Amino acid sequence: MRTWLIGTALSLLLWGPAAFAGTVLVVGDSISAAFGLDTRQGWVALLEKRMVEQGFDQQVVNASISGDTSAGGAARLPALLTEHQPELVIIELGGNDGLRGQPPMQLQQNLAAMVQASQQKGAKVLILGMQLPPNYGVRYTTAFAAVFPQVAQEHDAALVPFVLEGIGGVPSMMQRDGIHPTAQAQPKLLDNVWPTLKPLL
């Protein structure tokens, strides 16, 4: 029995970091699901590669679905939290809410619910903010953009104010639909996220 216990203890010492590595859960829409691309080209796949290169051993789980809204993410999140028990949740949702003209207050409520559910499970939260094209009108686009920092401030979550900074509206960085980033834009997208994400790992 003593021999078995010693062997088990040695195994835990040797394999502990890998066995107990945390999980980074990404809950997003087409921006994180690498719409129109090979998923290996997407910023989430590039994130996983960078983490390995820099010595982080967390597992990255990409639970993003193209077309998803904040309501869809809020509905899916409880099961994802139970299944993966993440130490960090990255929320990249809201773009489809805006494109559909849904009320910013509804987006705010959904994001707040996701942040609170994640924090109640002991996870840190990073919100990736989004902005809309100006053709949606100043009043709506302003109210929409304000949701992300407001939720982050009220619930003590980390924030990237605009995940598509330097990408959105740049023809060479966007696919022909003008909505989804190209493969060439994915490293820039990761660079937008990384400075805020890294301290949370």
Give the residue numbers marked as catalytic: 30, 177, 180
Minimal CA–CA distance to 114: which of 78, 65, 86, 87? 78
Minimal CA–CA distance to 40: which of 183, 189, 179? 183
| H helix intervals, 100-167 | 104-120, 138-154
How buried is 114 (Cβ within 10 angstroms: 0-12 exposed, 13-18 middle, 19+ buried)?
Answer: buried
Six-digit token pair at 25? 């859960």
